[in-house]
Structure 1
Amino acid sequence: MMVNTYSRFTYDTVDEIAPVYSAIVLGTSKKLKNGRENQYYKNRILAAVQLYQANKCKKIIVSGDNRTMGYNEPRDMKSDLILLGVPAEVIVCDYAGRRTLDSIIRFKEIFGQTAGIVVSQQFHNNRAVFIGRHKGIRLNGFNAEDVNVHNGLKTRVRELVSKLFCVLDVKIFNTRPRHLGDKIVI
């Protein structure tokens, strides 16, 4: 699928990736429904810390869902990044990143970024970079460690559908984010 060809813009080690002003970490739930730690989440946070510590970005936007008072991906990500040594003033929360498409378009239109690094697992980064590059963002991906196939099977199946909708959103429908709002200078 054409989205997978964008893997050429994703990297597994920080040494391979050029420094930029800002990175964006794509949200996911901190805990699984059974209460266990979500390895996708944990690995994205660790990758973002690694990126920052390697001086590959000056700012980190944490973008995710916060539909209810008890569920707030950006707040969780910011808190965990701070616990791991990233200064609070470096981290910017995007509370309207309900979908990957929303997060990436908001990265440019709300936060004014025309280049950056997206942090997620490679299968997700391929899609995010596809969206970003079609929207005029020089976006590269930093691949967080993946989870084993058994634990990630449901996500892999869902990703096939997400890629199809991604292509339709970008190439056919020119889908816009659900929420935009005022520009935020970072």
Structure 2
Amino acid sequence: MFAAVGMMLAGVVLLFAVDYQVRSYANPYIMSAGEVPEADAIMVLGAFVYPNGNVSTMLRDRLETAIDISREGKSAKIIVSGDHGRTDYDEVNTMKQYLMKQQFRDDDVFMDHAGFNTYQSMYRARDIFKVHKLIIVTQQYHLSRAVYLARKMGLEAYGVAADKQDYGNVMIKYKAREMLARSKDFINVNVTKPQPKFLGEAIPVTTSGTLTNDK
């Protein structure tokens, strides 16, 4: 019994240690839209979209933050990375349509149809979209893991938080889940280094976002 309790306590200590390591490593690279340096591209990480084509509150705030950054002159290119693994659910086309309604050019918005999780999104930013310098946009609770992963993969990555409002009690669940996700991705990027589910041919952000269109 004592051994089991000891192992459990050791696991908790390790969880908090990894969490601290990820956050402390990434935090110096998290900035405001005005402070962040120019980059090859801005990456918006996906979140829930509705069947009617509307974006969720969190995703809208991410997209609006990316618009703010682009209009600051930091990058004309935007990568929208999310889940398009089913025909009946499509985050990336929904995000691209949102941006195009805000006068972004088809050429400048690249869709990452296989950004099923944060690790795969960063891996594909490097290997598919050939980005070297990247601005990542998501909410604060998620941002340190994304920046940590990107930098450990060799990208010069910066983060801008998309928290434009208080998201309420749901954040308690999200923050708890994020702590576990940081530990998982710490192992992924430092130890196991799995390849994404899908890779495919390179589509550098120096080309055209129309090459990622599927409709």
- Report the Cα offset of residue 38 of structure 1: 2.5
Q: Which residue of 2 aligns with 1:183?
A: 202
SS in 2 for 1:111: coil
- Report the Cα offset of residue 155 of structure 1: 1.4
Q: Which residue of 2 aligns with 1:18?
A: 37
SS in 2 for 1:142: strand
- Report the Cα offset of residue 30 of structure 1: 2.2
> Which of residues 21, 24, 48 in structure 2 aligns to 1:2?
21
SS in 2 for 1:148: coil
Identity %: 26
Hey, what's the Cα distance between the residues in 2 that align with 1:158 and 1:149? Answer: 16
Q: Which residue of 2 aligns with 1:142?
A: 160
1:121 and 2:144 correspond: no
- Report the Cα offset of residue 3 of structure 1: 1.1
Q: Mapping of 1:1-186 within 5 angstroms?
A: 1-5=20-24, 6-11=26-31, 13-31=32-50, 38-145=56-163, 147-186=166-205
TM-score norm. by structure 2 comes to 0.80
Hey, what's the Cα distance between the residues in 1 that align with 2:180 and 2:78? Answer: 28
- Report the Cα offset of residue 149 of structure 1: 4.1
Give, as a single letter, the amino acid of the residue that structure 2 aligns with 1:128: A
- Report the Cα offset of residue 157 of structure 1: 1.8
- Tell me the C-alpha RMSD between the 2 structures: 1.9
- Report the Cα offset of residue 106 of structure 1: 0.5
Mark the structure with the bigger radius of gyration.
Answer: 2
TM-score norm. by structure 1 comes to 0.91
Contact 1:62 1:94 in 2 (8 A): yes
Q: Which runs of 5 or more residues in structure 1 are unaligned?
A: none
Contact 1:60 1:90 in 2 (8 A): yes
Hey, what's the Cα distance between the residues in 2 that align with 1:97 and 1:37? Answer: 17
Hey, what's the Cα distance between the residues in 1 that align with 2:88 and 2:70? Answer: 28
Which whole-Å deviations, capped at 9, do the CAs of 1:126-181 have from their partners, x for residues lacking one? Answer: 11111111111000011111643413222112111111101111122122211111
Q: Which runs of 5 or more residues in structure 2 are unaligned?
A: 1-19, 206-215
Give, as a single letter, the amino acid of the residue that structure 1 aligns with 2:121: S
Equivalent pairs counted in the alignment come to 183
Give, as a single letter, the amino acid of the residue that structure 1 aligns with 2:77: K
